[in-house]
Amino acid sequence: MEIHQLQYVIEVAKHKHFTRAADEINVGQSTLSQQIAKLEGELGVKLFDRTSRTVHLTPAGIEFVQNAQQILAQIEALKQCMNAHAGLFKGVLHIGTITSLANYNFGKMIASFHNIYPGISLNIIQEGSLKLIELLRSREIDIAFLTLPPSTEYEDLNFYHLANDEYVLVTGDKHPFAGKKVIDLAEAHNENFIFQKKNQSMYAICMKACNKAGFHPKILCHSSGASISFGLISEGLGIGFFPIRDMKTFRISGLASIKLREPLIKNIMLTTLKPAMYAPSINVFYQHAIKWIGCIQNNSHTLHP
């Protein structure tokens, strides 16, 4: 069994197709097929069920991929540990993030990190929190900024609390709620809502708040982009839940924000898996992000390695 064979199996499992997997890792399709067939012969088990159009993991293949991902992650961590001993920080760091990190000068944080550790390449993936958890578990990303989901079934993850965002109810500036400073959420039971997408943790959090207030929201549409949602709300199509910081960041005219009597809070977390070891690049980025958010909250952007 060779290391490159582990990667081949993982890529085919990811794409469910030999040709697409071969293109992704820049090897010939015949080479990829031969290596996986050789590995299956060595192991004495089938890893894939093949059809004319697609391939699927067998039960043995599922277990193989889970273990192969852990092995490759530990090999990468070991390489980076040795690089650290040699005074080098290099490799690729895969970072997942939710959209609201823009409120914490995410771009400047990344630029600052790159200036300190120019040898580390960064791959940034923007998704909803639940999708980011999937990507962490499949080891497609190394670290994620996300909203703490309402569920507690995440014993395989390490959460570090970075910040809180208080959510307000946003309406058009001519809406009856617009003249109020604070309302009970139950007052909005007959309203149309512009709601978060279901792959975002705030969808479940806002839905839970509405249910607690005694109603199920009438959702006119789902949107993951604050600027688009604000445009819809300013046209009177509905109301929605948004962080106070978003109101300050986007400054779209024609809107009003109203505080909720029972505050709705989003917890922003820095999240990793709980592996046997972290690569040095993950550790240094982890510490950098914590310091950066602390500096933002203290109105200072000065960071040092």
The predicted-structure confidence for 24-59, as pLDDT tens digits, reads as follows 888 888 888 899 999 999 999 999 988 777 888 999
| 239 has pLDDT over 80 | yes
Contacts of 20 (CB under 8 A, 6+ apart): none
Has residue 178 been placed in a domain?
A: yes
Q: Does residue 104 lie in a domain region?
A: yes
- The answer to which of 34-48, 59-73, 140-154, 213-227 has the lowest mean pLDDT is 140-154
Q: Report the chain's mean pLDDT, rounded to a whole number.
A: 85
Do 69 and 138 reside in the same domain of the chain?
Answer: no
Give the mean model confidence (pLDDT) for residues 75-82: 78
Average the pLDDT over 230-238 and give the result. Answer: 91
pLDDT in the model for residue 85:
62
| Predicted TM-score (pTM) of this structure | 0.66
Is position 84 within any domain? Answer: no
Instruction: Tell me if 81 sits within 8 A of 280, measured CB to CB.
Output: yes
- pLDDT tens column, 164-194: 888 999 999 999 999 899 999 999 999 999 9
The reported pLDDT for the residue numbered 305 is: 36
**Distance separating alpha carbons of residues 301 and 40, to the nearest angstrom:** 53
Query: Residue 252 sits in a domain of what CATH number?
Result: 3.40.190.290
> pLDDT class for 302, splitting at 50, 70, 90?
very low
CATH number of the domain enclosing 48: 1.10.10.10
Domain that holds residue 202: 89-305
Q: What is the pLDDT of residue 258?
A: 94
Residues 156 and 263 in one domain: yes
In whole angstroms, what is the distance from residue 56 CA to residue 137 CA?
19
Residue type at position 172: G
Same-domain status, 302 and 155: yes
Residues 126 and 248 in one domain: yes
- Domain end, chosen from 79, 102, 120, is at 79
Same domain, 134 and 154: yes
- Answer whether residue 110 shows pLDDT above 50: yes
| pLDDT value at 301 more than 60 | no
Count: domains in the chain: 2
Tell me, yes or no, whether 138 and 276 share the same domain.
yes
Listed residue (250, 243, 207, 244) closest to 228, CA to CA = 250
Same domain, 177 and 287: yes
**Shared domain check, 143 and 273:** yes
Q: Please check whether residues 51 and 154 belong to one and the same domain.
A: no
Domain boundary among 79, 98, 128: 79
- Same domain, residue pair 108 and 167: yes
pLDDT-wise least confident of 127-136, 220-229, 269-278, 292-301: 292-301
Tell me the CA end-to-end span of the chain in Å, nearest whole number.
Answer: 40
- Looking at the structure, tell me whether residues 167 and 58 fall in a common domain: no
Looking at the domain assignment, is residue 278 inside a domain? yes
Q: Look at residue 302 and tell me if it is in a domain.
A: yes
| 14 contacts 29 by C-beta, under 8 angstroms | no
**Chosen domain end from 79, 109, 137:** 79
My answer on whether 144 and 255 are in the same domain is yes
